[in-house]
Chain A
Amino acid sequence: MTALTDAPPAYLRGAPAAKLPPPPDRAGILAWLRANLFSSPANVALTLICVVLIAWLVPPLVRFLLIEAVWSGDDREACLPSPNNPHPGACWAFIRVWLSYFVYGFYPIGQRWRVDVFFAALAFGIVWMLWLSAPRRDIGAVYFFVALPIASSMLLRGFPPIGLIDVSTTLWGGILVTIVVATVGMVASLPLGILLALGRRSSIPVVRILSVIFIEFVRGVPLITVLFMASVMLPLFVPERLAPDKLVRAYIGVALFASAYMAEVVRGGLAAMPRGQYEAAQALGLTYWRMMLLVILPQALRVTLPNIVNTFIGLFKDTSLVFVVGIFDFLRTIEVARGDPRWASPIVSITGYAFAILFYFICCYSMSRYARRVEARLARRAAIKGS
């Protein structure tokens, strides 16, 4: 029995064998290619189709937008075919010359700092509201929904007592108007939407019926007709001396429209709250409004934040429709500029639209990325709670 204590026999390994690399067709870039692009004849065919599509689309696009683009010039001559540039691409010179018009419209040049201050104040407010772990977001809400609208209205329209001269809204234009209309829509539609959503879930019949009628009516008709209503019917419904100016009518149309959609989003958030939250708040003896303000709404709005942002993306895109009722929003300024006889040419039109597409895409895409991040974060939190 001494054999067991002796040194192990020679055929046993003393140390673990070295790890073998995985078979070459199971790892590395080749395997990835094989699994994701060439796993079957059909897959190979799809890959080929896609490659052809990309080869057909991308190089001309890059050539047009960058390589053959014209970057400087004073009029359309710069962007027409010439001996040293027989196939001119995008006419970015046009954008450079007109850029300040696209941003400010006809806002007086000496006063444009006011618009810049407004943009900065708005950006500050948006970051405060959207950064979920920012300090004192309650003050942020007051800033965004009360202070900012009043202050920027004085700033942009003018307030002679403190030396800000009046600037008529007919001079406003471009990105300024697009952002102002979207902001007004947002600032007005969230509180209105919350009220309508509460109204729709209310146990008081008249409140409920009026809310349902308003929400379903507005959601059932196109925004254009709401804007037409605001711009041609509204002036008829108020005494002549009170008739609001054109831009204010557009605000009203957009705000009414957005609040109906916001109401449905908030209603979804309210419905997602567990009954226990309502019951616990009632058991503590909270009145209806305190229950809503202190317990239900803070949670419901948080859960539904991604949907609120998505609604806002829709609202931001929809502001382009004010174009139809004769407001000088960003899209309108593009249309005006590309029709200018000193510039008008097919390539200039395409460049103008490419610039607008870029602007809207960057704004909306970054908002939707944000919404998705928040959604993922909420899902993670729910998963931790659930486990």
Chain B
Amino acid sequence: MTDIAQPTPRRRRGRRIGSIALQAALLIVVGGLAYAAVVNAAQNLARANIPTGFGFWNNTAGFDISQTLIDYSPSTSTFGRAFWVGLLNTLLVSSIGIVLATVLGFIVGLARLSGNWLMARLAGGYVELIRNVPLLLQILFWYNAVLKSLPELHGSIALPGKAILNNRGLFLPRPQFAPDFGPVLVAFGAGVIVALLMHAWARRRQERTGAQIHILWPALGAIIGLPLVVFVLAGAPVTFSLPDMGRFNVRGGIEILPEFAALLLALVIYTAAFIAEVVRAGVLAVPHGQTEAAQALGLRPGTTLRRIVVPQAMRVIVPPLTSQYLNLIKNSSLAVAIGYPDLVEVFDGSTLNITGQAVQVVAITMAVYLAISLFTSLLMNLYAHNTAIAERR
């Protein structure tokens, strides 16, 4: 019989002292590395004559940005302004990308589960092909091989609705709202409120009496019809400024840069392949017994899907879906490869090259992405908390 070492009080105390010593040593090592890094950085920066601090934020930027959602001029705007321009461009491409990728991803994911063999195979092929090719390669492909090989200015393609497409971008008519467009917006707001009230009323009534009332059409009427009526009554107060073929460039209209289009296209197609897998896993996670039970209760297929399958599948789908959204936002930084002026291109690219203040510039960029990530995780946790299965109490 060998005796198994029992932790005696002395040994236990020894272990605790060991643990504290380990923690102290770790802190000293990490702190020491950080200190050495700061000292070295100060020396290297001083030698290279690069100022420290964030003073550059208010200096004039002096470089041009090809797409600006807010006023920006290279000769007067500051680096701080350029930061906001870049951030807004990142948010623009990400938010449109998230919406489109979700739609495409759900379509492909459900197509993979389709009973139609050909459809399921096609969707599967799409997912495998797209997931196994780097996103950067796809962005370069869309940009250089597809959009840049569109006709030059003089061979521009005229699209229906007076839009113009060439290798400098897609030019759409820009709506211009007359001052009496206001009532239309008011009517739209009123329509939304009416629809919400209808929904609440129908729901309360169903809970009280069990009778279901279909409010889809009246609600749509309130949201779309009401503003439409006001719009016509007000004499259609919208004019379109059409894009116009100049000698050297297209003037007027909304300009969609090829950089933006290529980035958006690649992000949507790439992320949709991942979302499709998330959706498929989510739907498969709902046991078939749930559908059968709903059918046994006499629910119709549509109601079964809406009330039984989707809510349970969403509980599985939403967490990984959110991380795909975060990936899309982070991946939008690949814009730098084709020169779409997103946050990384404007800041880690132009601003870094001009100011040389690598530490501050990279740190600011990272902080922005980190903030977006943490904020989204926070929302995610709230959602998970609210939709957790309510166990019997």
A residues apposed to B, CB below 8 Å: 36-37, 39, 43, 46-47, 50-51, 53-54, 204-207, 210, 216-217, 219-225, 228-229, 232-233, 235-240, 285, 313, 317-318, 320-321, 323-324, 331, 335, 338, 346, 349-350, 353, 356-357, 360-361, 364-365, 368
Question: Which residues of the partner chain A approach B369 to less than 8 Å between Cβ atoms?
Answer: 220-222, 225
Known interface pairs A50-B122, A236-B40, A364-B133. Does A224 touch B333 (Cβ–Cβ under 8 Å)? yes
B interface majority secondary structure: helix
Q: Cβ of B4 and Cβ of A285 under 8 Å apart?
A: yes
- B121 nearest CB neighbor, chain A only: A50
Q: Name which of B23-31, B204-212, B248-256 contacts chain A.
A: B23-31
Bound: A235/B122 CA distance, A:
49
Report, nearest first, the 4 A-B pairs whose CB atoms are least far apart. A220-B373, A364-B132, A36-B117, A206-B23
Bound: A36/B119 CA distance, A:
10
Known interface pairs A220-B374, A228-B362, A321-B334. Does A50 touch B136 (Cβ–Cβ under 8 Å)? no
Question: Which residues of the partner chain B approach A205 to less than 8 Å between Cβ atoms?
Answer: 23
Bound: A321/B136 CA distance, A:
7
Q: Cβ of A217 and Cβ of B370 under 8 Å apart?
A: yes
Q: Name which of B70-78, B140-148, B220-228, B304-312 contacts chain A.
A: B140-148
Question: Which residues of the partner chain B approach A346 to less than 8 Å between Cβ atoms?
Answer: 145, 149
Known interface pairs A220-B374, A233-B362, A346-B145. Does A313 touch B132 (Cβ–Cβ under 8 Å)? yes
Q: Cβ of A47 and Cβ of B5 under 8 Å apart?
A: no
Known interface pairs A229-B362, A233-B358. Does A204 touch B22 (Cβ–Cβ under 8 Å)? yes
Q: Cβ of B116 and Cβ of A207 under 8 Å apart?
A: no
Bound: A153/B384 CA distance, A:
47
Enumerate 8 A-B pairs (CB-CB under 8 Å) in ascending A order: A36-B117, A37-B118, A204-B23, A217-B370, A225-B369, A229-B362, A237-B40, A346-B149
Using an 8 Å CB-CB cutoff, how does the interface string of B293-321 with A read, 1 for contact, 0 for none? Answer: 00000000000000000000000000000
Q: Cβ of A232 and Cβ of B370 under 8 Å apart?
A: no
Using an 8 Å CB-CB cutoff, how does the interface string of B350-368 with A read, 1 for contact, 0 for none? Answer: 0010000011001001100
Bound: A373/B208 CA distance, A:
54
Bound: A238/B4 CA distance, A:
49
B93 at the interface (CB under 8 A from A): no
Question: In the complex, which of the residues B4, B37, B40, B136 contacts A331, with contact meaning CB atoms closer than 8 Å?
Answer: B136
Most buried by A among B116, B140, B362: B116
Q: Cβ of B358 and Cβ of A232 under 8 Å apart?
A: yes
Question: In the complex, which of the residues A207, A349, A364 contacts B149, with contact meaning CB atoms closer than 8 Å?
Answer: A349
Q: Cβ of A224 and Cβ of B133 under 8 Å apart?
A: no
Bound: A224/B338 CA distance, A:
14
Q: Cβ of B30 and Cβ of A210 under 8 Å apart?
A: yes
Question: What is the distance, in angstroms, from B337's C-beta to the closest C-beta of chain A?
Answer: 6
A interface majority secondary structure: helix
Question: Which residues of the partner chain B approach A240 to less than 8 Å between Cβ atoms?
Answer: 44, 47
Bound: A43/B352 CA distance, A:
56
Bound: A240/B365 CA distance, A:
25
Q: Cβ of A39 and Cβ of B132 under 8 Å apart?
A: no
Question: Which residues of the partner chain B approach A285 to less than 8 Å between Cβ atoms?
Answer: 4-5
Please tell me the size bucket of the interface on B. 35 or more
B239 at the interface (CB under 8 A from A): no
- B371 nearest CB neighbor, chain A only: A220
Beyond known contacts A220-B369, A324-B334, A364-B132: 10 more, CB 8 A cutoff: A224-B348, A233-B362, A236-B40, A236-B45, A238-B37, A320-B134, A331-B134, A349-B145, A353-B144, A365-B132
Question: Which residues of the partner chain A approach B140 to less than 8 Å between Cβ atoms?
Answer: 331, 335, 353
Question: Which residues of the partner chain B approach A225 to less than 8 Å between Cβ atoms?
Answer: 333, 344, 348, 362, 365-366, 369
Known interface pairs A221-B369, A335-B140. Does A207 touch B22 (Cβ–Cβ under 8 Å)? yes
Q: Cβ of A37 and Cβ of B4 under 8 Å apart?
A: no
- B372 nearest CB neighbor, chain A only: A220
Q: Cβ of B116 and Cβ of A47 under 8 Å apart?
A: yes
Question: What is the distance, in angstroms, from A343's C-beta to the closest C-beta of chain B?
Answer: 14
Question: Which residues of the partner chain A approach B352 to less than 8 Å between Cβ atoms?
Answer: 228, 232
Question: What is the distance, in angstroms, from A240's C-beta to the closest C-beta of chain B?
Answer: 6
Question: Which residues of the partner chain B approach A204 to less than 8 Å between Cβ atoms?
Answer: 19, 22-23
- B367 nearest CB neighbor, chain A only: A221
Known interface pairs A36-B117, A233-B359, A323-B337. Does A357 touch B133 (Cβ–Cβ under 8 Å)? yes
Known interface pairs A232-B362, A349-B144. Does A47 touch B344 (Cβ–Cβ under 8 Å)? no
Known interface pairs A206-B26, A222-B369, A317-B134. Does A361 touch B117 (Cβ–Cβ under 8 Å)? no
Question: Which residues of the partner chain B approach A239 to less than 8 Å between Cβ atoms?
Answer: 40, 43
Question: Which residues of the partner chain A approach B331 to less than 8 Å between Cβ atoms?
Answer: 222
Question: In the complex, which of the residues A46, A206, A207, A238 contacts B114, with contact meaning CB atoms closer than 8 Å?
Answer: A46
Question: Which residues of the partner chain A approach B44 to less than 8 Å between Cβ atoms?
Answer: 235-236, 240
Bound: A320/B136 CA distance, A:
7
B41 at the interface (CB under 8 A from A): yes
Question: Which residues of the partner chain A approach B359 to less than 8 Å between Cβ atoms?
Answer: 233, 236
Question: What is the distance, in angstroms, from B120's C-beta to the closest C-beta of chain A?
Answer: 9
Q: Cβ of A46 and Cβ of B119 under 8 Å apart?
A: yes
Q: Cβ of A360 and Cβ of B5 under 8 Å apart?
A: no
Question: Which residues of the partner chain B approach A365 to less than 8 Å between Cβ atoms?
Answer: 128, 132
- B18 nearest CB neighbor, chain A only: A204
Question: Among residues 115 to 139 in chain B, which have CB atoms less than 8 Å away from a CB atom of chain A?
Answer: 115-119, 122, 128-129, 131-137
Question: What is the distance, in angstroms, from A279's C-beta to the closest C-beta of chain B?
Answer: 14
Question: In the complex, which of the residues A228, A364, A368 contacts B348, with contact meaning CB atoms closer than 8 Å?
Answer: A228
Q: Cβ of A353 and Cβ of B141 under 8 Å apart?
A: yes
Q: Cβ of B137 and Cβ of A331 under 8 Å apart?
A: yes
Question: Which residues of the partner chain A approach B374 to less than 8 Å between Cβ atoms?
Answer: 216, 220
Question: Among residues 314 to 342 in chain B, which have CB atoms less than 8 Å away from a CB atom of chain A?
Answer: 330-331, 333-334, 336-337
Question: In the complex, which of the residues B5, B116, B370 contacts A50, with contact meaning CB atoms closer than 8 Å?
Answer: B116
Q: Cβ of B330 and Cβ of A222 under 8 Å apart?
A: yes
Bound: A77/B237 CA distance, A:
56
- B48 nearest CB neighbor, chain A only: A236
